[in-house]
Amino acid sequence: MHDAAVLPVTPTPLDPRVLRTWRLASLLGMLFVAPIVTALARWRDVPWAWSIAIALGVAFAIALVECWRDGLRYRRWRWHVDDIAVVLARGGIVRHVTTVPRFRLQHVDISRGPLEMRYGLATLTLHVAGSGEIEVPGLPVDLAEAARDALVRSLHAQWMREQGEETAART
Amino acid sequence: MTEPTDALDLRARADATALRRLPRAALVIGLLDTIRTTALPLVLGGAARLRDGVSLTDAALAGTAMLVLGAIAWIRWRSMRWGLLDGRLVVHRGVVEKSRREIPLVRIVGVQVEEPLSWRLLGLARLRVQTASGAGDDATIDAVPRADVATLVGTLTAHAPHTGDVLVDAVVDREADAHAGPVVADALDARLGTASAARSIVLHRASVADLALAGLTGGALAGIGAILALFGRILDDLGLDRRVVEWIGERGTPFVDTIGRDAMLLVVTAVALGLLLISLPLAALLSIVRNGDLVVTRERGAIVRRAGLLNRTERRSPADAVQGIRLIASPVRRLVDGAALRIVTAAPTTDDDDDDEASGTLELVPLVRGEARVHLARALFPAAGALLQSPWRRIGVARVALLRAVITVVLAIAVIGAAWRLLPTRWAGVVWLALPPVIVACALHVDGRRRTAIAPDGDGTLIGVSWGSIVRTSAIVDAATTQCLVRSAGPLQRRAGLCSLSISLADGDDIDVPDVPLDEADALERRLRAATTRVLTGSARRPRTTS
């Protein structure tokens, strides 16, 4: 059932390239923050030069905090798949450890945003009933696809085994 | 090469004649619904136009609108057909946008029968069919003659699993005579003397008094009214209200100017007391009407709940899809040693009041008291009874919550103090009114954390957790039905060696166990993993979930 060749069996960090995508996304977010701060400053009759300086300062400060947070988040991220469950450890200030029993998976998705495509990464999304979706970001595309296939294969094997047991019980 | 057949073109399908139309009475209901939904806007529009005089154009527009809506109702009625073909339920709908839904009968896990008052008068019922898709109602069959309902439900649920019948029936056998009275005795007699298909064991029948009491909890508005009245008097003693009245008076509220401060307080108090006096009996009455004649039975492997005086509903959930129970004890319910009992099921149903919301949690009984609670829980979920009777161990630690509460109150005082200094002095004192609710919320937060408790291990298949302060909830779930487990810890929790656990179930309603010591969290996690292992190794049945 277990596909050790593909799935990490010990706690494994994400691909280092994901940190770049997170930080780039944070910096891109600042492109929206700066004009808003400028507009607010202008609304309070702050001169143009000061408004832009304040906006840049605020954007820089937020970007700095975000980059630090992304770094912390990356350092904490670990994931592995054992015989029973998929285990994800993550979180910066508040830390989370999520355990998803393998046979509880409903379906597995792979998604790629523009930044992830740029860096050859993908996000593996695990769907379970009731709890929505659990994401493992920053996986190399081939690893994400192989992990998806391995998880789905093990679900199918489990299902086949149960069908066999049910048929045997009926006969 | 033959032309491909349009799968949704009913006329082109060979099975068209096997599908039946809805009876004409369904058209009457459709038209009545149209009139009901359009009457109010038409009356309001007419009333607004009366001042200028209703013109011929207005009348023509209103008439056309009603004709169009009536035509839509007629088309809807004409376009729906349904039938049972080769072990499938087929429902065909639509003219412009057609749909054909085929559900294999073996996939049906639940059937819900609804009889709104207007339908009952016309001798009709509506059937909602659920599969394990998790989407709520997978098919709806309108306007089924009431005489045919029992047969149709029997056919639709004929393939529903009967797993666990023997075990649960054995438990019911033991408990029935002592706790469920003559109703159960009759049912048992009937069961012993008839074939298995006719089995119907009454598990619970709600009394009118219990329903009324359960309704009182819903009268929360009344409680708020009473508190407001009390609060009004306290404010009066403190003299704070004077500032509010003066502030309102300054802005020229003619009402306050006319009647004066004391009279206004009297009016506020009277309104609050009036709300209390009206809302309590009204809430009780609504509960009786909504859940009147409530009876929970076990029939052919399903838990069946029938309720409602005017709009009668029958919900049927397969017994082996029940993943756990929740007991919710509000203060009013605790006064009579009772609780509301809900089942957590993997066959979500759509709520009567909210057609879009599919939920896996079903309130089975709004109030079940004393020992009856244990016996009902046992009949629904065999191992739960023993767990409810055994003592639960408190694992909640309040010290982090206390620290959190102190920080919150200090921050609130700082924010309110700043607001007090910044606002105009005449009514600045009013902002301090925000502090008591913050303090009360913090106290409840600490109390809730302190009360978190866990049930003993037992055979390891079930997990029992209780939490809450004013409203206390106890959940007992099959450990193997856990969808996912999240353990989280903030900086304060990490310093204190605590964490919070969130156990997700298929019904989407998580069980949160906050601020528990790490060793307790480890033990709980080990139990969940052990249950999962048992399922994976085949030593336990894989519980049904949405899939």
For A10-65, the DSSP string reads S-BPPPTHHHHHHHHHHHHHHHHHHHHHHHHHHHTT--HHHHHHHHHHHHHHHHHH
What are the beta bridge partners of residue B129? B111, B139
Contact list in A for residue B360 (CB cut-off 8 A) is 130
Round to whole Å and give the CA distance between B486 and A87: 10
Cβ–Cβ below 8 Å for A129 and B483: yes
First to last CA, chain A: 26
Spans of chain B, pLDDT less than 50: 1-5, 162-198, 252, 353-356, 542-547
What's the pLDDT score for residue B253? Answer: 52
Q: How many CA atoms lie within 13 A of B137 on its CB side?
A: 22
Candidates A94, A96, A131; nearest CB to B504: A131
Give Cα separations from B436 to B412, B413, B447, B450 (angstroms): 10, 10, 16, 21
Cβ–Cβ below 8 Å for B546 and A96: no
Contact list in A for residue B542 (CB cut-off 8 A) is 103, 162
Q: Is B146 exposed, middle or buried (0-12, 13-18, 19+ CB in 10 A)?
A: middle
Contact list in B for residue A104 (CB cut-off 8 A) is 482-484, 545
For B319-433, where are the E strands, in sequence order? 322-329, 338-350, 358-369, 393-394
Here the tokens at position A77 are 């991220």
Tell which residue, B502, B493, B465, B500, has the closest CA to residue B399.
B493
- The pTM of the whole model exceeds 0.90: no
The phi, psi pair for A94, rounded to 5°, reads: -95, 125
- Are the C-beta atoms of B79 and B10 separated by less than 8 Å? no
Q: What angle do CA A76, A79, A84 make, to 5 degrees?
A: 140
Look up tokens 């998929």; give the residue.
Answer: A86
Round to whole Å and give the CA distance between B400 and B406: 10
Here the tokens at position B104 are 């294999």
What's the pLDDT score for residue A139? Answer: 92
CA distance B260 to chain A (A): 42
Amino acid at B161: P
- Are the C-beta atoms of B246 and B426 separated by less than 8 Å? yes
What's the pLDDT score for residue B406? Answer: 93
Look up tokens 């559900």; give the residue.
Answer: B103
What's the pLDDT score for residue B191? Answer: 40
Cβ–Cβ below 8 Å for B488 and A97: yes
Residues in A whose CB is inside 8 Å of some CB of B read: 83-85, 91, 93-104, 106, 128-131, 134, 158, 161-162, 165
Cβ–Cβ below 8 Å for A99 and B507: no
Chain B nearest-CA residue for A154? B536
What's the pLDDT score for residue B261? Answer: 60
What's the pLDDT score for residue B3? Answer: 43
Look up tokens 């082996």; give the residue.
Answer: B320
Give Cα separations from B440 to B160, B407, B410, B533 (angstroms): 49, 14, 14, 44
Round to whole Å and give the CA distance between B374 and B305: 18
Question: pLDDT digits over B188-246, tens only?
Answer: 334 433 334 445 788 888 888 888 888 877 656 556 656 665 666 555 555 555 555 55
Round to whole Å and give the CA distance between B379 and B325: 11
Here the tokens at position B97 are 């946008």
Q: Which residues of B477-495 are buried (b: 16+ CB within 10 A; e: fewer)?
A: bbbbbbbbbbbbbbebbee
Cβ–Cβ below 8 Å for A130 and B494: no
What's the pLDDT score for residue B241? Answer: 53
Q: Determine the 3-state secondary structure of A133 from DSSP.
A: strand
Cβ–Cβ below 8 Å for A158 and B536: yes
Q: Find the mean pLDDT for residues A63-92.
A: 90
- Helix or strand holding residue B212 (H, E): helix B208-218
Tell which residue, B119, B146, B143, has the closest CA to residue B24.
B143
Contact list in A for residue B546 (CB cut-off 8 A) is 106, 129-130
Instruction: Suggest the residue from B536, B541, B544 to mutate for an interface test with chain A (most A CBs closer than 10 A).
Output: B536
Instruction: Tell me whether strands B462-467 and B472-478 are parallel, antiparallel or unpaired.
Output: antiparallel
Cβ–Cβ below 8 Å for A85 and B509: no
What's the pLDDT score for residue B262? Answer: 65
Instruction: Suggest the residue from A76, A93, A94, A151 to mutate for an interface test with chain B (most B CBs closer than 10 A).
Output: A94
Q: In what order do the strands lie in the sheet with B81-85?
A: B20-21, B81-85, B88-93, B99-104
Tell which residue, B171, B225, B159, B156, has the closest CA to residue B203.
B171
The phi, psi pair for B253, rounded to 5°, reads: -75, 110
Q: How many CA atoms lie within 13 A of B535 on its CB side?
A: 25
Residue A43: how many other CB atoms lie within 10 Å: 9
Here the tokens at position B68 are 């169009």
Round to whole Å and give the CA distance between B400 and B378: 36
Cβ–Cβ below 8 Å for B546 and A134: no
Which residues have a Cβ under 8 Å from the Cβ of B360 and sit 6 or more positions away?
A130, B134, B344, B345, B346, B347, B348, B505, B506, B507, B508, B509, B546
- Are the C-beta atoms of B178 and B250 separated by less than 8 Å? no
Position A136 confidence tier, pLDDT thresholds 50, 70, 90: very high
Cβ–Cβ below 8 Å for A97 and B483: no
What's the pLDDT score for residue A108? Answer: 84
Here the tokens at position B202 are 């009454």
Cβ–Cβ below 8 Å for B484 and A91: no
Cβ–Cβ below 8 Å for B545 and A129: yes
CA distance A118 to chain B (A): 32
Give Cα separations from B36 to B33, B69, B78, B124, B525 (angstroms): 5, 11, 21, 19, 54
Instruction: Suggest the residue from B106, B163, B357, B483 to mutate for an interface test with chain A (most A CBs closer than 10 A).
Output: B483
CA distance A1 to chain B (A): 10
- Helix or strand holding residue B36 (H, E): helix B24-50
- Are the C-beta atoms of B296 and B340 separated by less than 8 Å? no
Residues in B whose CB is inside 8 Å of some CB of A read: 134, 346, 360, 482-491, 494, 504-510, 525, 528-529, 532-533, 535-536, 538, 542, 545-547
Instruction: Suggest the residue from A99, A154, A160, A162 to mutate for an interface test with chain B (most B CBs closer than 10 A).
Output: A99
Contact list in A for residue B488 (CB cut-off 8 A) is 91, 94-97
Cβ–Cβ below 8 Å for B508 and A106: no
